[in-house]
Amino acid sequence: MTSLIIGYILAVFVGVSLGLIGSGGSILTVPILVYVMGVEPVLATAYSLFIVGATSLIGGVQNAVQKKVDFKTVIIFGIPSIAAVYFTRAYLVPFIPDVIFSTGTFVLTKSIALMVLFAIVMIFASISMIRPCLHCNESEDAAIKYNYPMILLEGTLVGTVTGLVGAGGGFLIIPALVILARMPMKLAVGTSLFIIAAKSLLGFTGDLQRNEAIDWSLLGIFTLLSIIGIFIGIGLTKKIEGGKLKTAFGWFVLVMGIYILVKELFL
């Protein structure tokens, strides 16, 4: 019971992260579900898609009202990403065997493999958060220029990663929008939330298709608290400098990624 309460409290911080920096929601959600609330890792990645998708949708609408969303980019980036995440969840994840391989006393199960992959994604995410964005364009009036082939390729890549580990991919989407479309940072954050929402929620339908045993009570409460958090995060953007917060969060994600790697492979 105590672990559930702690997990629900931490759910608020999932939303705060999405509201403040447009990413990091799933990077917090999966470890909270697995290590605090005891959800099985494969199921946790499915829950993460719904939680982050629903929370991002609310945040995206809020940003759209403030005219901080570019819907043309949502469509260009979103279509290949949505297709990739749906097919990954519906067909690729079920195809992975429960025991991938074993040697001596070590057995690499599907659950361990997904958590290790998730940890690797976390480490790469932390690097993109810690490293200063040399290409960031803060001008609100700057013209957006599209590198269509790279955006389509990046969208497919992000969708596949999302499907495998339940990560919304904001840490990949935002740099892609800033660098490949020359989009201002604040506009990239709002646009990213809509892309995350679309591909995460549609990816979750791939799990519904497989008749997963879903705890809708846990999922509903966690999602509601996360949505409350995103309103807090969006409000805090007016008071906290996003760059400093993103760097600090990056270091936290790096430590968490290393911890998960060590725990899954050696402990």
H or E segment to which residue 161 belongs: helix 148-165
Q: Is the pLDDT of residue 217 over 90?
A: yes
Residue 205's pLDDT band (boundaries 50, 70, 90)? Answer: confident
Q: Which has more confidence, 212 or 248?
A: 248
12-51 pLDDT, tens digit per residue, is: 988 888 887 766 677 789 899 999 999 998 889 889 989 9
Q: Where are the beta strands (DSSP E) in the chain?
A: 99-103, 106-109
Range list of H helices, 88-147: 93-95, 110-130
- For position 193, what pLDDT does the model report? 86
Q: Is the pLDDT of residue 241 over 70?
A: no
Q: Is the pLDDT of residue 100 over 80?
A: yes
> What is d(CA 112, CA 100) in angstroms, rounded to the nearest whole number?
10
- For position 33, what pLDDT does the model report? 94
How far apart, in Å, are the Cα atoms of 252 and each of 59, 71, 186, 190, 247? 23, 32, 22, 23, 9
Q: What percent of the chain has pLDDT over 70?
A: 90
* Cβ–Cβ < 8 Å for 52, 196: yes
- For position 202, what pLDDT does the model report? 83
Q: Residues, the chain, total?
A: 267
Q: Is the pLDDT of residue 226 over 60?
A: yes
